Amino acid sequence: MAGALRFVNGRARAPPWRLGGSRCTFRPMTYAAITGWGACMPPAVLTNDDLSTFLETTDEWIRTRTGMRERRVSHVSGMELSIISAHRALACAGLDPADVELIVYGSCSNEEAVPNSASGVQAALGATRAAAMDLNTACTSFLYGLTTATAMIKTGVVKNAVVIGVELISKYMDWSDRSVAVLFGDGAAAVVLQATDAPIGVIGSVLGCDALSRRTLRVRGIGVGYAGRNVTIGDTKWDFDGQAIFKRAVHGMSESAARVMAEHGVTAADVDLVVPHQANLRIIEAVAKYAGLPMDKVMLTVERYGNMSSATVPVALVEALDEGRVKPGGLLLLPGFGGGLTYASLLVRWGDRVTPLGVSDKVLPPCTRTALEMVNEIRAYQDPGGRSAPGLSTLVAGTCDG
């Protein structure tokens, strides 16, 4: 009925338009500004030389193939990293946790399947009004989450959101497999989105999935399909076709970036900063080349943190802000890809503020062990090639790949 009230979250809201004789007045479009940001990186550093103590590799071999020198290993859970990141992002935005309406937890390394991880963050923050959802598209989980939360704000479902990208890969890494063990690290970061009438925040998104290539990246040993197969939790086998993933990653990120730029009339000259998924330096360089963007417009963290899956883009974004590389009104391009093989490219128009409104006093508990010590503890209980080998050797039924 014309002029009727809508009910959103139990609250009555006026329609976006009102009729008055021959006049029709439209409500301004709602956008979702990024108003807060915060990261939480584990302090323990695992260097390439550390990896060479138990893998047949060298610092030079890793650097020349990936651009990585080190990565982090967490002494706490991924949820704990996320909680501190969220506290820091909320302080930055000046938003009380009690006023948060949505929490999106982007990850493929949750501590548990039920209950979901976002609910744990909600409880720790005291965000009792917030809806809480987990989202897993592997390395693109943060980008998909940012798009989802933006859409929910634009459509009036919520007025604000906390979006988290976090991974704790060290616990289920096959540390005997050089092809993957040198690549990944732990970390987390979060952003706060708030409704605004200004045309800022995510202004364009292209999401997709090259599902015919999903078998090129698989972690065996995780999921209910391995129940009853004598697979010990923590034992994994990684299917990782590096050459195929490289080609598909460059194609997916480049094509989606070109599409989102074309759809919004953006050229390479208009982009102020690229904040890409940090999977491999050569992939990033190839994507920048295809987009016609010089590397001095690209934010890099891959050398220090490796591939943190869904945490790479938000951590790089936070560090770009800390380093003053994000300017008021700047245009950012955020491309990524992940298992599935999912891909995404987002255009983000930044607002006027590039400094925090406040600072959180939340910190991690002290870490008393080195990264290498923690990894060696994990290695000591892993046996993917022994006790769990039979259950990991064949594909789970119903995966659409076998």
The closest of 87, 128, 92, 85 to 107, measured between CA atoms, is 85
pLDDT of residue 396: 74
Please give the mean pLDDT across all residues of the chain: 93
Cβ atoms of 272 and 327 closer than 8 Å = yes
What secondary structure, in 3-state letters, does the chain show?
CCCCCEEECCEEECCCEEEECCEEEECCCCEEEEEEEEEECCCCEEEHHHHCCCCCCCHHHHHHHHCCCEEECCCCCHHHHHHHHHHHHHHHHCCCHHHCCEEEEECCCCCCCCCCHHHHHHHHHCCCCCEEEEECECECHHHHHHHHHHHHHHCCCCCEEEEEEEECHHHCCCCCCHHHHCCECCEEEEEEEEEECCCCEEEEEEEEECHHHHHHEEEECCCHHHCCCCCCCCCCEEEECHHHHHHHHHHHHHHHHHHHHHHCCCCHHHCCEECCCCCCHHHHHHHHHHHCCCHHHECCCHHHHCECHHHHHHHHHHHHHHCCCCCCCCEEEEEEEEHHHEEEEEEEECCCCCCCCCCCCCCCCCCCCCHHHHHHHHHHHCCCCCCCHHHHCCCCCCCCCC
The one-letter amino acid at 390:
P
pLDDT value at 20 more than 80:
no
Within its chain, how far is the Cα of 302 from the centroid? Answer: 14
Task: Write down the catalytic residue from 87, 139, 209, 251.
Answer: 139
- Residue 248's CATH number: 3.40.47.10
Number of domains observed in the structure of the chain: 1
Interval 340-364 mean pLDDT: 97
Give the pLDDT band (50/70/90) at residue 29: confident
Interval 252-257 mean pLDDT: 97
251 labelled catalytic? no
Question: Is position 42 within any domain?
Answer: yes
pLDDT value at 289 more than 90:
yes
Question: Is position 362 within any domain?
Answer: no
For the four alpha carbons of 215, 219, 221 and 226, in that order, the dihedral sign comes to negative
358-386 pLDDT tens trace? 999 999 999 999 999 999 999 999 999 99
pLDDT value at 1 more than 60:
no
- For the record, the structure tokens of 236 come out as 């994994």
- Specify the pTM: 0.92
Residue 8 main-chain phi, psi, to 5 deg: -125, 120
Question: Is position 309 within any domain?
Answer: yes
Q: How far is CA 152 from CA 147, 264, 274, in A?
A: 9, 21, 25
Distance separating alpha carbons of residues 176 and 368, to the nearest angstrom: 25
119-164 pLDDT tens trace? 999 999 999 999 999 999 999 999 999 999 999 999 999 999 999 9
Residue 387 main-chain phi, psi, to 5 deg: -60, -35
Q: Which residues are 335's β-sheet partners?
A: 345
Question: Is position 301 within any domain?
Answer: yes
pLDDT of residue 398: 66
pLDDT of residue 4: 40
68-95 pLDDT tens trace? 999 999 999 999 999 999 999 999 999 9
Task: Write down the catalytic residue from 87, 251, 277, 280.
Answer: 277
Q: How many CA atoms lie within 13 A of 163 on its CB side?
A: 33
Question: Is position 14 within any domain?
Answer: no
Which of 30-34, 170-174, 230-234, 305-309 has the weakest average pLDDT?
Answer: 230-234
The closest of 207, 192, 203, 222 to 107, measured between CA atoms, is 222
48 labelled catalytic? no
Give the pLDDT band (50/70/90) at residue 14: very low
Give the pLDDT band (50/70/90) at residue 23: low
- For the record, the structure tokens of 118 come out as 């976002």
Question: Is position 280 within any domain?
Answer: yes
pLDDT of residue 399: 67
Question: Is position 5 within any domain?
Answer: no
Residue pointed to by tokens 């209910």? 224
Burial track 177-206 (b if 16+ CB lie within 10 A, e otherwise): bbebbbbbbbbbbbbbbbbbeeebbbbbbb
Domain hosting 57: range is 31-354+374-392
Which of 13-17, 50-54, 153-157, 389-393 has the weakest average pLDDT?
Answer: 13-17
Question: Is position 21 within any domain?
Answer: no
Give the pLDDT band (50/70/90) at residue 24: low
Distance separating alpha carbons of residues 381 and 36, to the nearest angstrom: 40
87 labelled catalytic? no
Task: Write down the catalytic residue from 110, 136, 280, 307.
Answer: 307
pLDDT of residue 100: 98
Cβ atoms of 101 and 156 closer than 8 Å = no
